[in-house]
Amino acid sequence: MPDEKASPAPSEIVVEPAWHAAWLPDAALAAVGRRRVAVVGPAEDDVLVTVFREAERATAAHGGDVVDPDGAPDLLLDARAGGDGFRLVRDGGRVTVAAATATALLHGWFHVVRLGEAAFTGPDADERHAPAFALRVLDHWDNVDVHPVMGQVERGYAGGSIFYADGRVRDDLSRVTAYARLLAATGIDRVCINNVNVHAREARLLTDDLPEVARVAAALRPYGVRTHLAVSFAAPMTLGGLPTSDPLDDDVRAWWRAAADQVWATIPDFGGFVVKADSEGQPGPFAYGRDHADGANLLADAVAPHGGVVHWRAFVYDHTQDWRDRSTDRARAAYDHFAPLDGRFADNVVVQVKHGPIDFQTREAVSPVLAGMPATRLALELQVTQEYTGQQRHLCYLAPWWSENLGFRPWGEGGAAVRDVVAGRGPGASPAVAATGGGGIAAVSNVGDDVFWTGHPLAQANLYAFGRLAWDPTLDPAAVLDEWIGLTFAGQDGAVEPRVREVLHAVLDASWRTYESYTAPLGVGFMVRPGHHYGPDVDGYEYTPWGTYHFADRDGIGVDRTRANGTGFTGQYPAPWRDVYEDLATCPDELLLFFHHVPYTHVLRSGVTVVQHVYDTHFAGVERVREAIAAWESLDGRVPSDVDARVRERLAEQLRSAVEWRDQLNTYFFRKSGIPDTHGRTIF
């Protein structure tokens, strides 16, 4: 153990470069910055030095002071205590945050920052705070080179990569450290820095370019963020020159062990590998007659001596389907592939499961895989980047949707929720799964090198909310949004003007449902333009090899996934949902077309028909976008001019696109059904 001593002497404060401060402007540090702050712990710890520098920064900006621990500080940060997470004690206005590790102490520091004045003025308290999930990961779909089809960031809507430029790791990685600071403030502590679709150039990050990966890891490390890499299953062939990647081949196994040894020798705190295999053209164990457990365990064996983990994605389906074959159902695929393998994955393998069985749609059922593998560590995978939800050009605060998924109870009311399953506490969880704390949570990042990080300044709320829900999945999404507003739009005194807070809630709280209302209705999904997935194209995917999603004809619409007459997908759920979804009378309306093919005249619980629901919601959705524009414009002069200008630009595009969605969807349904709008509105 290093000697325990007061933290190092103050250093010069570094001026922040010219990118948006997101939820950590200096104004947000006002409450802590006015206090006397002391930091105690092993001075050799890089993250503890970061805590000290954070205290310096805050007090320098707001007139407080960094003092010796015996100098009667208002806030004592102590990295010498035991236990998970951190402990906060408030006694007569004096606050002590104690933790066993410097990273946990850093999370405690940012907790105090979030609380603001309430951290010091609240009633006396003794609280313990620990993350619900041990693994809280962001996956970046970044390419080193600019890919001719996918660009530099696949499904990225905020510019190029913050890690790579000109075909290599950036020389200046100061923005990566600033990004790690934002993540630490929400509780994220792991980042995979390259695309799960591992192209030839990105594959070399594992070997030839490992020293450059080490530079990225060094830029993330001061804020306690560990580095992961996405790797290609074919690496022993493409990088190692072997004739095979068969997971049971001795030479292949030796190659992976040597590769892992080199990675950890170069980056001792490396986290592990992320793998997309036998999916959408990526290589995998199927080529050798092996299964996903064989493939995942190959890598698990290689990283186990170093305490590493393997995130093996369950996004596996046939992407060369015949649209005329109604028995093939993409929704079934993940469960069909993975549930039979339950119990065969090594303890350091995490099977990463998309929240829905299709592909990050605006509305879909929760994946049954999350209830079907009790002897396997499962991670819930979300998508912060808004691939199917407006691509950071539309307002779409996703935390309410994520919260529904995390709180979904696959075994019915009173049973365990998804958040329990991925924390290792699901029914029937094996002792190994329970001991590891489950697989946690992961999400696809939404940042790029845009000055606002996320392109749309208000899309920052999604990244913030993911981190907070990863720490505590029971948080109220509206309260999380309020936190983000309080930090991001703080004035110099640390407070937010009430009108600003009111408007931001007005435009964001229900924005996901607004987006849903003018896009794909009733859980039908995928009515987007192929390839880039932006804007309406009702039949765009309907006759392609990627799947069939709505089966619209002159009489009705929807996919029959029942056991009685359809694909049998409902049978992958445990009771009671297998029966709730099976029965047209009990299936929730918001998922009606996901589970059933019904006539356009089918009456919903609201009392209107399916086709009238489409007309009504699409007209109403456009009006709600107009209301959001008017609300935002009422803030003229109350928010920074650069933020104001960018938001106005994005809102204008959202309105244009919403009108396009309204007119195309309504026209499509009118022409298919021949049923007019009961209100006589213009439909083309």
Q: Average of pLDDT values for 623-644?
A: 97
Q: How confident is the model at residue 570 (pLDDT cuts 50, 70, 90)?
A: very high
> What's the pLDDT score for residue 328?
87
Q: Rounded mean pLDDT of the chain?
A: 95
pLDDT of 629 reads 98
In this structure, are 417 and 533 located in the same domain? no
- With a cut of 70, say whether residue 10 has pLDDT above it: no
* Distance of alpha carbon 637 from alpha carbon 516, whole angstroms: 31
Tokens found for residue 337:
């592939």
Q: Name the pLDDT band for 521 (thresholds 50, 70, 90).
A: very high
- What ranges in 305-459 are assigned the alpha helix state H? 333-338, 399-407, 418-421, 431-436
CA distance 407 to 40: 38
pLDDT of 7 higher than 50 = no
Residues 77, 48 contacting (CB under 8 angstroms): no
481 in a structural domain: no
Counting residues of the chain whose pLDDT is more than 70, the rounded percentage is 97
Task: Say yes or no to pLDDT of 15 above 60.
Answer: no
Determine the pLDDT at residue 547.
Answer: 83
Q: Are residues 116 and 143 in the same domain?
A: no
pLDDT of residue 103: 96
Give yes or no: residues 154 and 123 share one domain: no
What confidence score (pLDDT) does residue 453 get?
Answer: 98
Same domain, 325 and 390: yes
Domain annotation covers residue 114: yes
Averaged pLDDT, 453-479:
98
Give CA–CA dist 190/263, Å, rounded.
16
- Residue 180: inside a domain: yes
Report pLDDT for 17: 60
Q: Do 328 and 336 contact (CB within 8 A), yes or no?
A: no
CATH code for position 26: 3.30.379
Q: DSSP E strands: which ranges in 216-342?
A: 226-230, 272-275, 309-313
Average pLDDT over residues 318-335: 90
Work out the pLDDT band at 327, boundaries 50, 70, 90.
confident
d(CA 40, CA 50): 12
> Can you give the CATH number for the domain in which 316 is found?
3.20.20.80
Question: Which residues, in sequence order, are CB contacts of 463 under 8 Å at separation 6+?
Answer: 182, 186, 384, 445, 446, 447, 453, 454
For residue 130, is pLDDT > 80?
A: yes
Torsion of CA 75, 78, 79, 82, to 10 degrees: -120
Tally of structural domains, the chain:
3
CATH code of 533's domain: 3.90.1330.10
Please pick, among 126, 280, 322, 555, the residue that the annotation labels catalytic: 280
SS3 363: coil
Q: How confident is the model at residue 6 (pLDDT cuts 50, 70, 90)?
A: very low
Residue 622 placed within a domain: yes
5's enclosing H/E stretch is strand 4-6
Per-residue pLDDT at 566: 97
User: How would residue 178 be classed by pLDDT, with cut points 50, 70 and 90?
Assistant: very high
Q: Is the pLDDT of residue 670 over 90?
A: yes
Contact 245, 237 (CB under 8 A): yes
pLDDT at 310: 98
595: pLDDT strictly greater than 70: yes
pLDDT at 109 over 70: yes
Give me the mean pLDDT over the 168-180 stretch. Answer: 98
Tokens describing residue 538: 């009702």
DSSP for 135-176 reads -EEEE--EEEEEETTTEEETT--SSS-SSEETTEE-S--HHH
Catalytic, 359? Answer yes
Residue 117: active-site member: no
Asked if residue 308 is part of any domain, the answer here is yes
Residue 237 resides in a domain: yes
Q: Which of 111, 129, 147 is the last residue of a domain?
A: 129
- Residue 421 vs residues 129, 338, 429, 467, 569: alpha-carbon distances, Å: 20, 16, 8, 18, 21
Do 345 and 445 lie in a common domain?
Answer: yes
Which is the catalytic residue, given 246, 278, 387, 450?
387
Note the pLDDT tens digit of each residue in 264-303.
999 999 999 999 999 999 999 999 999 999 999 999 999 9
Does 594 have pLDDT greater than 70? yes
Same-domain check for residues 307 and 363: yes
Q: Is 124 a catalytic residue?
A: no
Say whether 190 sits in a helix, a strand or coil.
Answer: strand
105 shares a domain with 207: no
Residue 500 lies in a domain: no
Neighbours of 21 (CB within 10 A): 16
Helix (H), strand (E) at residue 114: helix 102-115
- Asked whether residue 13 carries a pLDDT value surpassing 50, the answer given is no
**Predicted confidence (pLDDT) per residue in 43-98, tens digit:** 889 999 999 999 999 999 999 999 999 989 999 999 987 677 999 999 999 999 99
DSSP symbol at 677: P
Query: The pTM is what?
Result: 0.96
What is the C-alpha R_g of the chain? 25
Please indicate, yes or no, whether residues 144 and 111 belong to a single structural domain of this protein: no
Compute CA distances 259 → 208, 255, 429, whole Å.
11, 6, 32
End-to-end CA, the chain: 74
Looking at residue 406, its amino acid is L
**pLDDT band at residue 322, thresholds of 50, 70 and 90?**
confident
Yes or no: say if 542 and 549 are a contact pair by the CB < 8 Å rule.
yes
Mean pLDDT value of segment 595-601: 98
pLDDT band at 1 (very low <50, low <70, confident <90, very high): very low
Instruction: Determine the pLDDT at residue 387.
Output: 97
Per-residue pLDDT band for 560 (boundaries 50, 70, 90) equals very high
* Alpha-carbon span 164 to 145, nearest angstrom: 8
Boundary of a domain, candidates 103, 129, 155:
129
435 and 539 housed in the same domain: no
In a domain, 467, yes or no: yes
Task: Name the catalytic one among 54, 189, 278, 359.
Answer: 359
Host domain of residue 620: 516-559+597-673
At residue 3 the predicted structure's pLDDT band, cuts being 50, 70 and 90, is very low
- Residue pair 99/41 in contact (Cβ under 8 Å)? The answer is no
Out of 129, 148, 180, a domain closes at: 129
Answer yes or no: do 604 and 625 share one domain.
yes
Range 540-546 average pLDDT = 91
Residues 141 and 95 in one domain: no
For residue 48, how many C-alpha atoms fall within 13 Å in the half-sphere facing its CB?
24
- Please count the other Cβ atoms lying within 10 Å of the Cβ belonging to residue 615: 23
pLDDT digits (tens, 9 = 90+) for 183-192: 999 999 999 9
Residue 225 sits in the same domain as residue 362: yes
